[in-house]
Amino acid sequence: MSTDKRPQQVYTLVVEIGRKAGDGLPKKATGAALMVYASGVDEAEAVRETVAVLKQADTAPLDVSGYGTPEDREAEGHEIGEEERELMQRALDDNAVIVAQVTPFYD
């Protein structure tokens, strides 16, 4: 058995969702942007897992933008606060998808 398993990393994703019955968004919202921390061996896996989890949660994912690992983001000049790091670590520890922020859209 190979022990060359690629390590899980955590990725920051922004997912745009549309409206769907039971999605939990405010009544007049037309959709939302979700900031998500998701673990995966690569960003593509993190995106697939995130979309699957959001569909199970009765949302309608439309588009996903990836912002990479914390190291990628820092290289781009992003500042990452302690609370954000804790959520990222939780996503990694639990092999989870964590929605950190929801920003509803209105027309």
Q: What's the pLDDT at 6?
A: 82
Domain ranges of the chain: 9-105
Question: Could you report the per-residue pLDDT of 95-105, keeping only the tens digit for each?
Answer: 999 999 999 99
Question: Could you report the per-residue pLDDT of 62-88, keeping only the tens digit for each?
Answer: 999 999 999 999 999 999 999 999 999
Q: How confident is the model at residue 3 (pLDDT cuts 50, 70, 90)?
A: low
Q: What's the pLDDT at 4?
A: 64
Query: Half-sphere exposure (CA, 13 Å, Cβ side) for 96?
Result: 10
Side by side, the strands of the sheet bearing 97-105 are: 60-66, 9-18, 31-40, 97-105
